[in-house]
Amino acid sequence: MCVALPGTVISCDGDSAVVDFSGNRVRAKTGLVDVAPGDKVLVHAGCVLQKMREEEAVELERLFKELGDVG
């Protein structure tokens, strides 16, 4: 199973952006979505799939944290 993760755009450069995932910064392709610093985004396989509302991103982050605590 593949999972897309929520993150926050830190900076943009052409067709890519630096996205922060709870302190881990990763470069992701932005060819599918127009993003700006501060945007909440959903990233899968190094590509930004969509922008998200703040509430959606916070809820997904909470769920992933909760899943990580199980086990």
Looking at the domain 5-69, which fold is it?
SH3 type barrels. (2.30.30)
pLDDT in tens, 7-37: 999 999 999 999 999 899 999 999 989 999 9
Q: What is the Cα–Cα distance from 47 to 4, expressed in whole angstroms? A: 9
- Containing 44, the helix (H) or strand (E) segment is strand 40-44
Of residues 68 and 29, more confidence is placed in: 29
Domain boundaries, the chain: 5-69
Q: Is the pTM of this model over 0.75?
A: yes
| CA distances from residue 53 to 1, 37, 68, 69, 70 in whole angstroms, order as listed | 24, 14, 23, 25, 26
- Compute the average pLDDT of residues 43-54: 95
Q: What are the backbone angles phi and psi of residue 69, rounded to the nearest 5°?
A: -80, -15
